[in-house]
Structure 1
Amino acid sequence: MKFLNDMALFVEVVKAKSFRGAADAIGMPNSTLSRRISALEKTLGLRLLHRTTRKITLTEAGQIYYERCKRIVDEAKLAQEQLSEMLTQPSGVLRASLPVDFTVTYMAPLIAEFAKLYPGIVFDFDLTSRWVDLVNEPFDVAIRIGKPENSQLIARPLAVLPTYLYASPRYLDRSGEPAKPADLANHECLGIMKADTWTLHNGTNTTKISIGSRFTLNSVGMICRLATLDMGIIMMMEKIVADDIASGRLRRVLPQWRGAPVSACAITATRLLPAKTQHFIKFLQEHLGKV
C-alpha cells in the first residue's frame, strides 16, 4: 500500500511540475514530499527526476515509470470509486432465512421500505422456523428470535421486544382468571417448543413459573390460533396478537405483569459481509425496535 501511495505522489509531482505545487495540492509538507520521492528513487535504483531550482523534468526512466504509474493509479482510483458506489447502492441477491410469523408481522413493512431504498438488491427469502446451517447452506444472514444455538456464529442484536400474557375471554370464563403468577400452574399455558417455565416481572419483582401444556409447538401463528380457540394462555409479543386484541378474541391476563423480553438478532457465519448484507442488518437495527 505504501508503494502505491508513493506512486500516486510521484504522479502528482509530475502533473504539478514542482514539489511545492504538488505538496499544496495534496496537503503535505514540501520537505516530506521531497523525501518520499527521493526514497522511491532509492528503492527503484533509478533517477526519475531532474531537479533544478526553477523546475523539475522527467528523466527517460522517469517518463516510462510515470506512464506506468499513472495507469496503475488511475485504475486504483476507478476501483475505489466503483467500491464506493457498491457500498452506497449495493446489489446482488440477498439470501436470508426468516421466522415466519415474526417476519409477516414485524419485518414485512421494513423489507418493503428497504427494497425501495436499494433497487439493485434481489431478495431470496426462506421463511422457516428451523435453525439453518449458515456454514453449509447458501444464506447471507438468518434473522432469529433468541440466542443462536451455535456459539461459533456471529449474532448481531436487532431489537428487544416485550411480551405479555393473553387468553380468550371464553377460556377465562371457563377456567377462571389468574390473580397472581402462581395461579398459572393450574392453567393450560401454550409455550413455544418445549418451554416449561415462564419468567414474569412487574417492575419490582421477578418470578419464574412452571407451566404445562398438552401441546408442543414450534409455530407462533399456531399458538396464537389455539389461544383464540379457547385452548389456553399464551405469552406473546403485543404486535403479533394486535388484531386478535382489537377484535376481542384475546385480552391481557395479569396486566400488571409482563414476560421476559424477546431478543431478535441477525446471525451470520462471518464478520466479513458483502455490502447488501451489511446494509440490511444496519437497516433492521435502526428500525425494527421502532415498529
Structure 2
Amino acid sequence: MNLFESMKVFVKVADCGSLSAAARALDISNPSVTRHIADLEAYLHARLLNRTTRRISLTDTGTAYLERSRQLLFDLDEAETEASNSAANPSGILRINVPVSFSVNHLGRVLPLYAERYPNVVLDVSLSDRIVDLVDEGYDLAIRIGKLQGQSLVVRKIAPARVLLCAGPGYLAKNGTPQHPIDLENHVCLNYAYSTPRDEWRFLRDGKTIAVHVKGGLNTNNGDLLREAAIAGMGIIRQPSFIVGDDVRAGRLVMLLPEYHSETLSIYAAYPSRRHLSAKVRTFVDFLGEQFGDTPYWDLGLPHE
C-alpha cells in the first residue's frame, strides 16, 4: 500500500463527491479508487466514507482525517518542490579537503567559475596532504591522488596525471644526465615523503619493472618545495605533471628518461556515500570532471613517453 497515494485518492473522492468522478479526475479506474479507499480504511481501522447507491458522505472520522490529509499532502508537495529547486540551485556550505600543491596550482583557478555558476554555495576548502576521515572530520568531499586502497568511499576519477622524472638544467650541466634508471643511484634524488616506498623509484619498459634505490639531501611532504629545489639545481625529482608541467614546457626543468615509464596517477573526487548525494557535492564533482577530464591541460605539450 502506498499511503500517500491512497490519501490523494481519498481527498479527490471527498472533493468530487463520488468514486466515479474521482476516478475520471485522476484518470484511473473505478476499481482502483475503491481499492485505495478500502486499503486506507483497513490501515486506519476506521470508516472514512458512508456509501449509498446514490451518494457518499464523510464520516466524522473521515472529516477530521480529510483536513489532516490535505495538510500532509500540501507539506509533501512543498518539500518535493524545495528538493527539486535545491537540485537545480544547490546551496549551503561545501566543505572540501584538497592536497596542497593541486589546490594551489589548479583548483584556485577554476573555483571562480564554479562560484559564478552556483552563487548560493559557500566553498570551505581545507588544504592538507594527509588522508583525512571525511565523516569524522565533517568534510563533504575530498580530492585524492594516487591509489585509494582499503577506503570505504565513493570515488570518481576526474583526471589523470603523469609522473615525470626531471631536473634543472644547472644540475644536469654539473652532474651529467642519467641514461638509465640505474644511473639514479649515483645522483642526488629529492624525495616526496608520502610516496611508498619512499626510497625506491620504479620504472617500466617493455613490460619489465626496474626498481632503483635513491638517496639525496631532501625529503619533504610538499611537491612545490621539491619543484623549486630542483629548479635551483639541488637534485632530481619525480613529481606529477600537474606540479612540474609548466616548468618542463618553459625549460626550467628537463624531463629525463622519457622512454622509461613512471606511473600515471589518477586524481579522484571522493565522498562518503552515493545515496542521497547532495546537489552541492554532485555539481562540484561534475564541474571538476568538466574542467580537467581525460586530457587535462597540464599534460598538453609535454614530451611523450
Give me the TM-score of the superposition, normalised by structure 1.
0.85
CA distance in 1, matches of 2:224, 2:238: 12
Letter of the structure 2 residue corresponding to residue 265 of structure 1: Y
| Structure 2 equivalent of residue 11 of structure 1 | 11
CA change 1:112–1:48 in 2 (3 A) is same
CA distance in 2, matches of 1:198, 1:24: 74
| Structure 1 equivalent of residue 233 of structure 2 | 230
| Structure 1 equivalent of residue 88 of structure 2 | 88
CA distance in 1, matches of 2:107, 2:21: 55
- Residues 1-291 of structure 1: matches in 2 within 5 Å? 2-23=2-23, 26=26, 28-51=28-51, 56-147=56-147, 151=150, 153-158=152-157, 159-193=159-193, 195-202=198-205, 204-269=207-272, 274-290=278-294, 291=296
Instruction: Give how far 1:128 is off.
Output: 2.3
SS in 2 for 1:47: coil
In structure 1, the gaps of 5 or more residues are none
Residues 46-65 of structure 1 show CA distances to partners (whole Å, capped at 9, x for unaligned) of 33234466765444433332
Number of matched pairs: 290
CA change 1:26–1:214 in 2 (3 A) is farther
Give me the TM-score of the superposition, normalised by structure 2.
0.82
Instruction: Give how far 1:35 is off.
Output: 1.2
CA distance in 2, matches of 1:128, 1:107: 13
CA distance in 1, matches of 2:22, 2:204: 67
Equivalent pairs: percent with the same residue?
Answer: 36
Question: Considering only aligned residues, what root-mean-square deviation do their CA atoms show, in Å?
Answer: 2.8
> Which is worse superposed, 91-100 or 196-205?
196-205
CA distance in 2, matches of 1:54, 1:257: 89
Instruction: Give how far 1:10 is off.
Output: 1.6
Instruction: Give how far 1:101 is off.
Output: 1.3
CA distance in 2, matches of 1:5, 1:152: 41
Letter of the structure 2 residue corresponding to residue 284 of structure 1: L
CA change 1:30–1:244 in 2 (3 A) is same
Task: Confirm or deny: 8 A CA contact 2:94 2:122 kept in the other structure.
Answer: yes
Instruction: Give how far 1:26 is off.
Output: 4.6
